[in-house]
A and B are shown apart, each in its own frame.
Chain A
């Protein structure tokens, strides 16, 4: 059975209209006009136990809103969200005991106290039995390399140290599902790497289901075999990262370099996109077309020096995709 099931989820926010300027501010005091913002627009998916899913989209795509609905702190305007067979907002306390949540931009640690004290408070909040707490704390301290700063107050920690502590804090009670909202935001390369490796390990070895939002593709490549992509509140893609390229209809580039300019060349298997004379760039029509097909069609007689096939960079693919706002359906 699916551990999380969303079907036809919509979330519409009503925001009071603010008028610009001083006169506008006065007007806003008396008039109540609202604009409707559709943050999540008809999203459905199922997540099985033990999966690691990346939830990707640009700023304002409705990622955090979706996480908030799955954790029970927002109610969908329509459609249903079920987590562990329950509606999260109607079973907030039961649900909260079985999930772990990390918000990259909000701290759950006690600012003035040593990290250890925050952990100990979680032991009380989640009623974790002492032996299990000791064992989890020891394991997480080693895995996240926290022993050097666990007795220091949170306000003295670097962002990377704090984020590791936040993640450990969310895992102390052995949650079945771990939600992370932009866990690598603002971290340096090394800290990002530690966090990614750790999350992948938790998912693999402990079987903890992980759902993370990000706009960093490397997060997805290293942690999540499955990717859900959204934009403007709509689902664009749900499947494996390697299928994304095909789904978004991007094509491979072929560069042919000649000893001397062979003049114009037209091919059926590849489309000429740039002509620099001695170097010509083609786009391959489909995944099925191989270089061999192109070279066969080109035939001999040209002074061909070099052949280069370029896989499109995935970031590039997504960027072009967002820019063109092509409405692609969900492809498994």
Chain B
């Protein structure tokens, strides 16, 4: 088995999505509605204060944060969770064991395809529409722009690991239906996807800021608008890498356990 197979999975997943073109339109429409709702909320929040910034953040910055932390960084993980969950539930996961490949790597490759598809067909169009209608701000500086790209890659990896770990839990729970709901509520609070951590009470911001979920949405978006200075960004990146390594180890350990369970107990 060559590594060349994994990019092929990415391409195949991308192609599979092309089969359902209507999903693209509903995706764009759904995200737009969601974005305009967030913009309306933040606009009304900012209109109640006398100054044009809240906690040092202006309204255009806040809208940019909402776009990044929402559609851009928080891609549709539920497809991944569902894929792992149903493969476990239906026993189709055995099919992947019949092929000379590593299942988590296969999942990463094929969901990179899904991610790229969503990025091109939903995220970029939504960002362009919001950019032209409401307006977005550029990165705080060149450093913040480049750091954002690095954090974005880390965010993708982090969300993949968190979701796959949760999906593998279906091995023990025999269903992933409730996990979707559970995960979403945790993410809403701890990832800062809707309310940024700087609006949290200090104690909660400290907790959330040190849990891996914050690297999915909060850190990349906050860095883009310049909420962290270069040394803070570097520290956050290092902690993020450590979390990434820990979660990767957890995933591989869990997969070994799951495989063992599958081959010993037959799923």
Contact = CB atoms under 8 A, between A and B. Distances in A.
A89 B263 contact: yes
A93 B100 CA distance: 4
B156 to A, nearest CB: 23
Interface string B69-109: 00000000000000000000001101101111100000000
Contacts of A13: 265-266
A197 interface: no
A203 B206 CA distance: 66
Nearest to B90: A106
Given A65-B266, A108-B95, A117 B100 contact: no
Contacts of A127: 1-2, 4-5
Given A73-B97, A96-B98, A126-B100, A121 B12 contact: yes
Contacts of A65: 266
B8 interface: yes
Contacts, number: 74
Contacts of B16: 110-113
A103 B95 contact: yes
A106 B91 CA distance: 9
Interface residues of B, number: 25
B68 to A, nearest CB: 31
Contacts of B19: 112-113, 153
B264 interface: yes
Nearest to B18: A112
B58 interface: no
Contacts of B262: 73
A74 B263 contact: yes
Residue among B9, B12, B92 with the most chain A CB within 10 A? B12
Interface string A70-97: 0111110000000000000100111011
Residue among A65, A126, A153 with the most chain B CB within 10 A? A126
Interface string A253-292: 0000000000000000000000000000000000000000
A205 to B, nearest CB: 25
B249 to A, nearest CB: 21
A92 B94 CA distance: 12
Given A106-B91, A113-B15, A113-B19, A124 B97 contact: no
B40 to A, nearest CB: 37
Given A117-B12, A125-B101, A97 B1 contact: yes
Contacts of B94: 68, 73, 106
Given A93-B1, A125-B101, A106 B8 contact: no
Contact of B100 (A97, A106, A111, A121): A97
B112 to A, nearest CB: 15
Contacts of A120: 8
A93 B98 CA distance: 8
Nearest to A105: B91
Interface string A108-148: 10111100010011001111000000000000000000000
A96 B12 CA distance: 21
Interface string A146-185: 0000000100000000000000000000000000000000
A229 interface: no
Contact of A124 (B4, B20, B91, B265): B4
A66 interface: no
Contacts of A121: 5, 8-9, 12
Contacts of B95: 103, 106, 108
B266 A117 contact: no
A92 B97 CA distance: 8
Interface in B40-62: none
Contact of A71 (B2, B5, B8, B98): B98
Contacts of A68: 94, 266
Contacts of A71: 98
A227 B263 CA distance: 27
Contacts of A14: 265
A279 to B, nearest CB: 53
B265 A125 contact: no
A101 interface: yes
A301 B94 CA distance: 70
A121 B8 CA distance: 7
B264 A75 contact: yes
A111 B266 CA distance: 25
Nearest to B20: A112
Contact of A73 (B1, B5, B98): B98
21 contacts: A13-B266, A14-B265, A71-B98, A72-B97, A73-B94, A73-B97, A73-B263, A93-B100, A106-B92, A106-B95, A108-B98, A110-B12, A110-B16, A112-B16, A112-B20, A117-B12, A124-B2, A124-B8, A125-B5, A127-B5, A153-B19
| Top 10 closest pairs, chain A to chain B, by CB | A124-B5, A124-B8, A112-B19, A112-B16, A96-B100, A93-B100, A73-B97, A97-B100, A127-B2, A101-B98
Given A13-B266, A96-B99, A111-B16, 19 more contacts: A72-B263, A73-B94, A74-B263, A74-B264, A89-B263, A93-B1, A106-B94, A108-B98, A112-B20, A113-B12, A113-B15, A113-B19, A117-B12, A120-B8, A124-B2, A124-B8, A125-B5, A125-B100, A127-B1
